[in-house]
Amino acid sequence: MWGLHQNGLFSVKSMYRAILGVEAIPYNTLIWKLKLPLKIKVFLWYLYKRVVLTKDNLARRQWQEDRKCCFCSSDESIQHLFFNCHFARFVWRTVHISFNLIPPTSVHNLFTSWLHGINKKLKSKILVGASAICWAIWLTWSDIIFDKAAAPSYLQVIFRGGLLDQVLVSITEGGGSPNDEDRM
């Protein structure tokens, strides 16, 4: 139904656009209130809805290619790519060590109970930082899938688009607004 081609690449892009175009987006959730560029909010919404096109979701749409994760030999899924993969775990662990913040365990956890008990303002800032991490992982995934880039080092992801800076600004008190389109 999505007109997939054998090589998968161009049509994956088309399919993603098609999905982004057809589904209505509600505006009453936490995600939409975060100080982030719209494109990242849209990405987060699809992450939350579990329709981001990781290879397990592609396979459900008759995608015939390899289902292996870009970073390791496990099968790729949202849970794996953003939380369980050694690649994601390293990035989250860096945040854990830097800010003494236990990483989220899943997308659901991230946007529901992860920051339970933390005041609303700080929670919102931390979520911006965590969202930046998910976005950086996704950009790196995209580079590998669409541009055939070599798998990057952990540090490339952490520093990607000023990610660490973004997280620092988001989490430490007294930081400026993390709403900076250019850095993303």
Binding site for Zn ion (CB under 5 A): 69, 71-72, 74, 85
Give the nearer residue to Zn ion in terms of CB position, either 71 or 141: 71
Helix extents (H) in 23-162: 30-33, 38-48, 55-59, 78-79, 86-99, 107-111, 120-147, 154-159
Residues 179 and 100: their CA atoms lie apart, in Å, by: 24
Q: How far is the CB of 61 from Zn ion (least distance, A)?
A: 21
Identify which of residues 35 and 89 has a Cβ nearer to Zn ion in the complex: 89
Q: Cβ 19 to Zn ion, closest distance in Å? A: 23
| Closer CB to Zn ion, 77 or 166, in the complex | 77
Which SS3 state, helix, strand or coil, does residue 177 take? coil
Q: How far is the CB of 184 from Zn ion (least distance, A)?
A: 23
Cβ burial, residue 127 (10 Å; 0-12/13-18/19+):
buried
Question: Going by C-beta distance under 8 Å and a sequence separation of 6 or more, which residues neighbour residue 94?
Answer: 154, 158, 164
Residue appearing with tokens 């989220």? 104
Nearer to Zn ion, 116 or 148 (CB): 148
Q: Which CB, 14 or 74, lies closer to Zn ion?
A: 74
What's the min distance (Å) between Cβ of 139 and Zn ion? 16
Q: Is 176 left (phi over 0), alpha (psi -120 to 50) or beta?
A: beta
Smallest separation (angstroms) from Zn ion to the CB of 136 = 15
